[in-house]
Structures are given as structure tokens and as C-alpha cells.
Amino acid sequence: MKRRDFGQYCGIARALELVGERWALLIVRDLLVRPRRYTDLQSGLPGIPTNVLSTRLKELEQAGVVERRVAPAPQRGVVYALTPVGQDLEPAVLALGRWGSAQLGEPQPGDHVSVEGVTLNMRAAFQPGQAEGVTASWEIRAHDIVLHAVLTDGKLESGVGPAPEPDLVITAKIDEDALPSFRAIVTAAKSGLVELTGRKKLLDTFLRVFTTPRPA
Amino acid sequence: MKRRDFGQYCGIARALELVGERWALLIVRDLLVRPRRYTDLQSGLPGIPTNVLSTRLKELEQAGVVERRVAPAPQRGVVYALTPVGQDLEPAVLALGRWGSAQLGEPQPGDHVSVEGVTLNMRAAFQPGQAEGVTASWEIRAHDIVLHAVLTDGKLESGVGPAPEPDLVITAKIDEDALPSFRAIVTAAKSGLVELTGRKKLLDTFLRVFTTPRPA
DNA sequence: CTGCATCCACTTTGATACTG
DNA sequence: CAGTATCAAAGTGGATGCAG
């Protein structure tokens, strides 16, 4: 397996050699949220050819970014997860996501949204400066998407699924045929198109702590 | 010109659609340092096929990342520069560069180093926390590479070429046949393999402010 | 079922040559 | 200087096959 390189001794070039190929960073994005199986990745990345997914996983494994685990006793099967090196990609992925979010136009017909995507876009929107000292937890729901954000003294933990004891559950009322993207959720929240269960005042906190800078 | 997209309404996917193709971010890297002409880019990116450079520049222009300027009176010709949107990519490029720098092994035979690469790797190594309140300027030299870093009350300005009135000129003594990468420069500085002109105590400051985390 | 491998049409890349 | 033209090789997307 010969790697095509850029012939530059440079951190950026190296990064692109390791995770710059098509679909690679989207695989990493999904794995940043939680370990996934082959078919999970496949369905979370609509349009990825199966052989490309297979190839990428091998390359990422060889690059030391992804780890292939054969799950043990109970639910056996293969699970892909990020190595510590792979997890170190999070700041870079979030930075890219911030920039990309500002360049998002309207959803194209055929676009999909995954929980992983929404979770990462939420993390990208996180403003540590606005969160200092804040402790609170949210559960966010839209269509069939459920995720949570837990702030503990300004530190963020986030992931898929319900929060254990959410201070506030935000259910965004998004049009049946519209996409439940993070942006759409925030827009809904700003317009009051949400159902709130819990400490309703924490909605403003949420909107302050998770801010997508307006696209120019 | 049909864009292949990822079918996801997600900031990361959007970013990859706009600047995720081969060579694109390296072009952006070079332009983050200074506007360049076609042939400058070509020689700074050894190995890029000319038709690919041409195609990328058109795509990046259409994406609103790069601007094609026909230079006026004196030195006429075409100059490529980043738009404000393109400049907003800097945090993402630096984050990728930080990660990639940690994954750099030894230079491969045939690897090149460009001033643009060194400059960006230096910016990626910048630790704002260590620079608070610091005002100083350095000129860094190695082989035929010359760049500068000017800290004004903790704010960094950096670029190619000599500094106007450098507080310290650091000339790294790097083996004739070794690459003058930023990493090599830092290594040389740590080993005292440098020639210093000016306020020699600022070498330690430099090393503290520009720190590449050790690769694991 | 999951986790791929194989096959094939199509597109992109890389290398080189050439032009206004 | 600033690209276009050409063409072989590699990579991608889509469909299908198949073992555990």
C-alpha cells in the first residue's frame, strides 16, 4: 500500500496525508462521538461506497488513528474506535466544522443529518468563554435525534442519547420534512418553536453557550 | 462543473466539500502567509501538477476562498490571495498543523520545506498563554529561509522575510543537507546550535512562546 | 444479519508537452 | 508568466457477491 505524499516536511501536509482523503474526516467525525460498527458507519455516511469505507478504515488504522476492536462476549462483532491520537483530532475537526458551518447555505434536497453530525456541530458551536463556571445539563430532541450536553463548571461533555437527569429537555418543533440540523434546532429555539421540560430559564443559557457565528 | 458532495448538512462536510480536495489546503496554507502568483505556488508546492493547480484555484475562487487579482501598474501579472472567508480558515489550518506536527516522523528523502510551511508551523506552535503581555521581535534564519515573528503585547504577527528592527536574530546552524524545518530550527535552538544577534535572552522566550508538543 | 471483497464504468490525478 | 492539452494510471461510486 503505497501512500501518496505531498513531498513536504510540514505538519499540515502530514495531517492531510493521514486524514486528508475523501471521507476520512467524516469517519473520524462519527467516531469522535462514539465507537461504531462497520454498518453503523455505512448508514451514518449515506453515499459512501462500501469498498471506500473498507479502504479508509484500513488506512486510518495503519495511520494509528483508528483502532479495530473485536467486541468480546455479549454483543460480539467488530467495533471501530479512535485511538488517543485519533481523539487528538477533535480540535482540528471542530475548527473545520466552525468554518464550514459559516459556509452552510440552505440544505440541498437529498441532504441528510446524523446524530453524530449534530453532536459535533454542537461541540463546534460551544463557547468556553460563555460557559465559565456554568453547571447545567440539557437533552436536545428533534425528530428522531436525541443528544445531550452536560456542563460541569464550564466543562462540556456531550454525546448521543438522553441525559441522565437533564435540567432541561429541549424538543425542537421542526417541520416534518425539514432537516433536524443543529442550525435548525438553534433557529427553532430562538423562535420559541420548542417544547421545554424542566428549568426553562436554561434555554437562554443554552443559546448563549452554543453560538454559531452568523455566516457573512 | 458538478460538485461532488457528501450529502450531509453538516459544517464539517461542507468544509470538506469546499477545501477538502487534494492539494487545496496546501494552497490555502501558502496563501495564508502572503498572496502568491501562479508560478510561486507551483514552486512552493513541488509535485503539484499544473493542471491540478489550475483547477483548484478555479474551484477555490468559486468557493469564495481565493481571489484572483490582476496586479496593476508596476509589476503586473496575476496574483492569488485569500478572501476574508479564506483567511477565516487559519484556525482550522493551524489546528490541523498542530496535530500533523505531532505525527511527523523523520523527513523522508525528497521532502521539501518552504518558507510558507515553516511560517505556518511556527504559527501553529504559538502558545498565546505563554505570550501574554510579551513584546519582542525575532528574525529567524536557516539556510535560505528567512522569516520573522513580532509579538506586541502578546499579539503575534508573522511572515516571510526579515523583521524591521528585530530584537534578536536567530540563525540556526542546520546541517547543509538537512531540512530547515521549523522543528529542526527549534531543535537547533534548544541545543545551542544557533548564532544570535541582539538580545540573547530572548531565545528562551522564543522557545517558551513557540512550543511544539512532543509527539507521543 | 455483519463485514467486507470483487467487478466495472467513470472521474480525478500525475506527468509531460505545449501555447498566448 | 500563466496557464491549456493530452494521456496513462490511480481512485471513486455503484452494484453485487459471499463467507462467518
Specify the pLDDT at position B76: 80
How does DSSP assign A6-72, residue by residue? -SB-SHHHHHHHHH-STTHHHHHHHHHH--B-HHHHHHHSTT--HHHHHHHHHHHHHTTSEEEEEE-
Is residue A138 domain-shared with residue A80, that is, in the same domain? no
Out of B16, B84, B110, whose CB is closest to A25? B16
Show which of A44, A69, A88 is a domain's final residue.
A88
Out of B5, B9, B11, whose CB is closest to A98? B11
Is residue A199 domain-shared with residue A127, that is, in the same domain? yes
Q: How far is CA B200 from the centre of its chain?
A: 25
Is residue B149 domain-shared with residue B194, that is, in the same domain? yes
- Is A214 domain-assigned? no
- Is A23 domain-assigned? yes
Specify the pLDDT at position A210: 98
Is residue B79 domain-shared with residue B32, that is, in the same domain? yes
pTM recorded for the entire structure: 0.95
Is residue B120 domain-shared with residue B201, that is, in the same domain? yes
- Is A98 domain-assigned? no
Q: Is the CB of B77 under 7 A from strand C?
A: no
Specify the pLDDT at position A212: 84
Q: Is the CB of A8 under 7 A from strand C?
A: no
Is residue B19 domain-shared with residue B59, that is, in the same domain? yes
Would you call B99 and A89 a contact, using CB atoms and an 8 Å cutoff?
yes
Q: Mean pLDDT, to the nearest integer, of A19-35?
A: 98
In DSSP terms, which residues pair with A158 in a beta bridge?
A149
Lowest average pLDDT, out of A40-49, A97-106, B74-83, B96-105, goes to B74-83
Contacts of B25 in chain A (CB under 8 A): 12, 16, 20
- Is A3 domain-assigned? no
Where b means 16+ CB within 10 Å and e means fewer, A128-154 reads eeebeebebbbbbbbbebbbbbbbeee
- Read off the CATH number of the domain in which A164 is found: 3.30.1050.10
Is residue B125 domain-shared with residue B68, that is, in the same domain? no
Is residue B157 domain-shared with residue B193, that is, in the same domain? yes
Name the residue closest to D14, CA to C1'. A49
Specify the pLDDT at position A135: 98
Q: Is the CB of A38 under 7 A from strand C?
A: yes
Domain carrying residue B174: 115-209
Whether the predicted pLDDT of A24 surpasses 80: yes
The CA distance from A125 to A94, in Å, is: 9
> In this complex, is the C-beta atom of B91 within 8 Å of any C-beta atom belonging to chain A?
yes
pLDDT tens digits, residue range A166-200? 999 999 999 999 999 999 999 999 999 999 999 99
- Is A96 domain-assigned? no
Specify the pLDDT at position B213: 73
- Is B138 domain-assigned? yes
Is residue B184 domain-shared with residue B123, that is, in the same domain? yes
Over chain A, what is the mean pLDDT? 95
CA–CA distances in Å: residue A163 to residues A137, A150, A166:
7, 8, 5
Would you call B96 and A15 a contact, using CB atoms and an 8 Å cutoff?
yes
Q: How far is the CA of A37 from the C1' of D10 (A)?
A: 29
Is residue A131 domain-shared with residue A198, that is, in the same domain? yes
Show which of B88, B105, B133 is a domain's final residue.
B88
Q: How far is CA B68 from the centre of its chain?
A: 20
- The closest of A191, A80, A189, A95 to A138, measured between CA atoms, is A189
Specify the pLDDT at position B2: 54
What band does A96 get if pLDDT is binned at 50, 70 and 90? very high
- Is B129 domain-assigned? yes
Q: Mean pLDDT, to the nearest integer, of A11-18?
A: 98
Is residue B147 domain-shared with residue B82, that is, in the same domain? no
Q: To the nearest whole angstrom, how far is the Cα of A190 from the nearest Cα of chain B?
A: 20
Show which of B73, B88, B103 is a domain's final residue.
B88
Q: Is the CB of A23 under 7 A from strand C?
A: no
DSSP A123: H
The CA distance from B123 to A191, in Å, is: 40
- Read off the CATH number of the domain in which A66 is found: 1.10.10.10
Query: Which amino acid would we find at residue B29?
Result: R
- Is A18 domain-assigned? yes
Ordered mean pLDDT values, 10 residues apiece, chain B (216 residues):
81 98 98 97 97 98 97 82 98 98 93 97 98 98 98 98 97 96 97 98 98 72
Question: What is the number of structural domains in chain A?
Answer: 2
**Angle A150-A153-A154 (CA atoms, 0-180°, nearest 5)?**
70
